[in-house]
Structures are given as structure tokens and as C-alpha cells.
Amino acid sequence: MIVIEYKIKAKQHQLRCIDEAIRTGQFVRNKALRYWMDNKGVNKYDLNKYCRILAKEFAFANKLNSTARQSSAERAWSSIARFFDNCKKKVKGKKGFPKFKKYSRSVEYKQSGWKLDKQTKKHIIFTDKNNIGRVKLIGSRDIYFYQPEQIKRVRLVRRADGYYCQFCISIEVKEDMQPTGRSIGLDMGLKYFYADSFGHTEENPRFYRKSEKRLNRLNRRKSVKYRKGQRQSSNYHKARRQYAKQHLRVSRQRKDHAVKLARCVCTSNDCIAYEDLNVRNLVRNRKLSKSISDAAWTQFRNWVEYFGWKFDKITIAVPPQYTSQDCPVCGTRIRKSLSTRTHVCKCGYVEDRDIAASINILKKGLSTSGHEGSYAWGETPSWAVGAILSSNGDSLNQESLTPLG
């Protein structure tokens, strides 16, 4: 399963219709969630049936394609299923009770409500009652190589720099890679993005820190133009869009860095061991929260797991406890503060703190003290099954050991 994305070129009235479709999808999702809260024992199929009732009750909901309404209900169910799974697994802290969505930026169609231009495939026509009509696709020619029946989902996405159309295509994405005979341990950090067990350190790009000055300037410019209790001027909205575009640029830089680095790690190693960090708790540190968020450890980990699945490589998440304190040679536990960057042991072993930790992570991973990726307990990601673009996939019970391949 792959996703191909194109930018949309359309007229203003068509963009307003896309916004209306996105708002309708958000409405259906929230109504489905409320229906689940008010009625005990409701399942995924009951929410799909409830979409028909909403279409009869609300005229604007009837304008949206029936499969798009079902996709919105499935989004609600994915958050409900994730909450149930967290309760079954007894996850510490908040279990993630489903919330109503206030700002939605996408709507998803299945295999109806749209059709590609058969001759050029440079245009897509939306055939529901929202009157979006025919819009132009700007991007690569990859869509030419696939048949319409291979396209399982079509999603319209609104971002700060325009509107995009995503195609979810059902094909085999796994690749055969020659074994390298190498195993690697990765220690994530702030001084370095990561340090590996071979002694290599990857510099932390700090994309947000480098753009922080410009972001603050754009934010001040936006705030000056804001008028409380009044209708905002066009200059305010222009400043708001400039501020949002800069944030979008930073997020794209982070993603590009994570994708390229994760692919490089997975192609050059057969086994990758990394820390099973709980970033949600780490960002509570007021002094380090901005730097931790800027490092994007979770995004890098997700891409490592994806490429590990794609290339049939082993990815192992290791508990991070004492990996920075234990000596990788003799195992002696040496207490160190964060300011101590060198590991010095009584046995004579001296090494950089992060590199020593990466060696411990690799040892833990090879001794099976970790678990295989984030999906070890049946958390099948959407890129593996192609069920829903917006969800993280279907969840199974921990007793199930069905392979993901």
C-alpha cells in the first residue's frame, strides 16, 4: 500500500465546496462519537448504519458521498478502538478517551464519489452533491502506472499552502534487500540526533530552533493585526497564513530528515535496536520540552519501523532504563547526571556517554529484552493493510500472534 499526493488547482468556489465537504465529514465523525457515547454496545457497523440516518435528517450531510460519510464514522471508531486497547493493555496515565474534533483538515472517499480523467489522469472529478466538480492535479506522473481499481481511497487535505489530493493505492510495497550481516543500536539524544553502536554520531538538525526567530517575528506581526471582538481584516489573515506556512516548512523539514535517515539505517543494517521512549512524559520537562519536540524522535522511530517492515529487517524497541548508566564492558552501574557526557568506568573503559548507551541498547535488543517494533501486539499500521488512511490500523488482542507480513 502506497500513498501518492498531488496538489490541487481549482477555482475559489470549488475550494469552498471542499471546505464544506471537510466540515461535513467532521460533523459526521462527531455525531457518530456522540451516538457511541449515548448508546451502550454500539460497534463499528452500527456507526456505519447511523450515517444513513444522518443523511436523512440533515440535508447538508446527504450532499456528501455515502462512502465518505462511512469513512468519517470509521475515523471515530478508530479512536474508540484505540481507547479500548489502551484500557486492555493497562497503559499508564490517560487512556485517550475519544474527543470531539474541533478543527478537521481532511475528508476521505472510498471507491465511489470520484473518478479520474481516463485519458490524461491529470484531473479528478468528484461526483457527489457537494459540487466540487473537476479539479486539476499537479505533481508526478506516478498515477499513470496504476489502474483505477487499484485506488482504494482518495483523500482531500487542506494545508497552510493549499489543498492536496491523496491516492491510497493497493500494491505490494515490500522490497528484497541483500543481508548486510550488521546489527546496530541507536541512542536518541539532544546533543546528537542519535549515536550508534559503531561510534558514529548524527548531528541534530534543530529545524525549529533555526526558524524560531522568523516564527516569532511572524507571530508578532499576526498578533498586532488581531482585533478582539471584531471581524478580522484581510491583512490579519495574510499574516496568519504566512505564520502557518513557516510552521509547515519546519514540519516538512523534520519529516524529510526522518525519512532519509531511517531509510539509510534500515538499508545498511539487518537488526536495529532503539530506545522505547515515552516522549509524552519526557516533554513535561519545561526546560527540555521544546528541544525534545524539535528532535522528532517518535517520527524517526515510526519511519524506522516502516522501513524495517518494508525491507524485512528486525526492529526492536528496548526499555531505556539504565542504558546510560551501565558499563557496556563490565556492567557496573555508574550514576551520571545529564551534564556528564563521558562514561568513565573503573575497569578502564572510557567512551562517549551516548555511544556507550547505544552499545547497551544493542545488547538488550539481541538478548530479547525488548519487543519487536510498535506493532508487536498486533497494531497493524494503515500502510500495511490499507484499511484507513487516517487511522493507525486495526488492533488485536495481545494474545494474538498473527504475523503482519
Domain match, 280 and 145 both: no
Residue 246 dihedral angles phi and psi, to the nearest 5°: -65, -40
Rounded CA-CA distance 169/72 in Å is: 19
Q: How far is CA 240 from CA 118, 158, 216, 245, in A?
A: 39, 15, 12, 9
| Residue 61 contacts residue 32 (beta carbons within 8 Å) | no
* Residue 282 located in a structural domain: yes
134 and 10 belong to one structural domain: yes
Alpha-carbon distance of 124 to 277, in angstroms, equals 42
Average pLDDT of each block of 10 consecutive residues along the chain (405 residues)? Answer: 90 94 94 92 90 92 92 93 90 86 92 85 89 90 84 93 91 85 90 89 92 94 90 92 94 94 92 88 88 92 92 89 84 81 82 86 78 46 37 34 32
91: in domain: yes
Domain span including residue 138: 2-169
Same domain? For 202 and 274 the reply is yes
Length of the chain: 405
**Same domain assignment for residues 320 and 370:** yes
Query: How many Å is the maximal CA-CA distance in the chain?
Result: 77
Q: How many domains does the chain have?
A: 2
Does the pTM surpass 0.75? The reply is yes
> What whole-number distance in Å separates Cα of residue 324 and Cα of residue 199?
15
pLDDT given at position 389: 36
Q: Which of 120, 145, 169 marks a domain boundary?
A: 169
DSSP label at residue 31: H
Per-residue pLDDT at 221: 94
**CA angle 95-99-101, nearest 5°?**
145
Look at residue 357 and tell me if it is in a domain.
Answer: yes
pLDDT at 177: 84
Q: Which of 75, 69, 44, 43 is nearest to 57 (CA)?
A: 69
- The span from the CA of 237 to the CA of 281, in Å, is 35
pLDDT recorded at residue 381: 42
Residue at grid coordinates 523539514:
253
End position of a domain, from candidates 111, 145, 169: 169
Q: Are 162 and 282 members of one domain?
A: no
CA atoms within 13 A on the CB side of 330: 11
Helices (H), 115-233: 207-224
Is 237 inside a domain boundary?
Answer: no
Instruction: Judge if 9 and 155 occupy the same domain.
Output: yes
On whether both 123 and 191 belong to a single domain, the answer is no
DSSP 131: -
Shared domain check, 132 and 31: yes
CA–CA dist 84, 86 (Å, integer): 5
DSSP percent split of the chain into helix, strand, coil, nearest 5 = 40, 20, 40
Provide CB contacts within 8 A for 237, sequence distance 6+.
Answer: none
Answer yes or no: is 82 within a domain. Answer: yes
Would you say residue 218 lies in a domain? no
Q: Is residue 81 included in any domain, yes or no?
A: yes
Does 240 fall in a domain?
Answer: no
State the Rg of the chain over Cα.
Answer: 24
* Whether residues 279 and 326 fall in one domain: yes
> Are 28 and 63 in the same domain?
yes
Q: Out of 144, 169, 194, pick the residue that ends a domain.
A: 169
CA–CA distance, 393 with 78 (Å, rounded to integer): 8
Q: How far is Cα 345 from Cα 199, in angstroms, rounded to an integer?
A: 18
- Asked if 275 and 143 sit in the same domain, the reply is no
Do 158 and 290 belong together in one domain?
Answer: no
Residues 6+ apart with CB under 8 A from 256: none
Residue 65, pLDDT score: 92
